[in-house]
Structure 1
Amino acid sequence: MPARVLACFWQVRFRMTRLLFLALVGLTVSACAHAPPALSRPSGDSGFTAEPMPEPPGMDVAAPRPFELQPGDVLSLGTISPAPLNVPRLVVDEAGLLHAPLVGAVPVAGLRMEEAQERIQERLRRYDRFGLVSLSVTEPAGHRVSVLGAVERPGAYVLGGGTTHVAELLALVGGLKVMTGDAEVAELADLEAARLLRGGTPLPISVVRALAGDARHNIPVAPGDLLFIPALQGASVRVLGEVKSARALPWRAGLRLSDALTRAGGMTVDADSADIRVVRGPLSKPKLYQASFADVVAGRAPDVELARGDIVFVTRHWFATMADVLQRLTPLLAVGAAAVTVMELNAAPISQ
């Protein structure tokens, strides 16, 4: 075994053991002090910190932009003249030039149709003093926008006639990526982190508010724009214990305890609905909270909002001890500790 691989193995083993030990000690101490009730929102939990997402201010509602020619547009050129000219397909090249018979290369990118027509008319007069130029768009292929990330049909799309807004563009690509199964549908897109880039620079809009119809955010898209919808990668909530289908669920803002339990198939007949544990925080120092789903159903307690990375553990009747919780959570914490350690070691060279 090469020395570098062996060194990596022992570092992973040592650091994983340390993280796991700290996690189990933290949970044990929490249990001895009696698990406090879970707060209704993660924002009220001193043990939970999330990087604040700046709220984009939006943009002033601007007047609709006129159609301007772009590289890639396909045009049809004709003249009304005793010696008429008819060219059904001319493409604006990457340099923004239109190569037409007689007139040669004419720069048209960024011009409105009437401006481009007048420019070609001027060039043509040296050959045909009385000819009138007629210019029309056959395919607006240069008016493309790109949508990438967690959407159903990512790719480049040609903007048709009229104005296309952010919300309409999302509808054009089939909407957000979702996961379906077991009679449940979960969105896999992180809309709060979505960005619309123009010229490589993010615009100060919120896609969430654009979908809500806010005119300052649901702005018209322009040729060359890129809409990026990141996935909820790594953002999950795990539901374990006495549920019918233990699983990791994609996290989304506003995910409640009742939603997570429902999507895990509900609780088994042995479950103690009055004693559900929520493990929150980093593996090195996790916190343990207690929630009562029975109180939620009876209206005596709020439905707990879950945070990214939470672990929901449903205990059993009669022996909802910390030993039971630790026994079920130890393998999961071990895997998580190993993953964290490997990622950290991959990011840093091994010391010699």
Structure 2
Amino acid sequence: MGSPLAAHQDVYILGPGDRLQLQMLDPSAQAYGGNLEILNDGTASLALLGSAQLTGLTISQATQWLTQLYGRFLIRPELTLSLSAPRAMQVTVLGEVQTPGLYSLSPGGDASAVTGVGGTGNPGLPTVVTAIQKAGGITLNSNIRSVTLRRRLPGLSSDVKQVTLDLARLLQNGNLSQNPFLFDGDTIIVAKALDPLPEEVIALGAINLSPQTINVSIIGEVRNPGPIQLKANTPLVEAILKAGGPNDWRAQKNNVELVRINRNGTVSRQSFSLNYSQGVSNAFNPPLRDGDSVVVPRSLYGKTVDVVNQVVAPLGQALNFYTLYCSFSNNDGSNRC
């Protein structure tokens, strides 16, 4: 098990899709240089050599290998090899994330951004946080103190090494060694929490390790019911306030229901009391996920008023008809009623 710092010291491993620039140092051999691209079979086509296997090598190893190959034909085979365009990377994100799976990350895309931590947004260099955000963010059962990063070692073998990262140290102390840059083929596993984490750690993880926005539905006794777009991990109470707040007297504030579709397709229902002084808490004011529904039920007072209205409304209509009927006089001028 390596240290997080070791992951930052790893060197780039060449693979299919990488574009390289080859330059021969001998002026008489410069015609053999130029642009190279590693093909799907792991080889690159080179002048004079035909093709050479480069997949699985570092830049330094590939430079030594090509120097050795050109040494069979040239008196001065010295050369430089540089990476002109890295390939798109594919990483696997597993464990306690919203949508585990295989994800493509572009080296030219947006990097991760961590609130309150400087130097983590480096466009073009995806990190562990980038991949977790891409996978929909962490679940409420995640242990961000135990995130495993597995990485393939140089060479054609399937040997890997792994390090354990503590993302809480990144979020709390700005420890950038806990958020290394990713390589193609990396696997990230977010462990499940065996014991509850401190609330401040949960809140930090919810803010930083999730997508920017979510879509939820607020229905029932609120002023503006319906679908609403919120910032990721907006707590339950704040979401209700964003929907205009509960209707006075009609809302049952001590039995607000959170309906959630789980990853395995089951539906869970939890009830909470609406407490405006309660901070983010899994037990009392949970952060919401994309696709959640919040139901604010009708109070006994509201139900009673609705029943009375259903009874009184027909009577009122009948009374209005009777009054209209009586307003007309008979043919002899006398009142009908």
Q: TM-score, normalised by structure 2?
A: 0.50
Alignment TM-score, normalising by the size of structure 1: 0.48
Query: Quick one: higher RCO (CA 8 Å, sep 6+), 1 or 2?
Result: 1
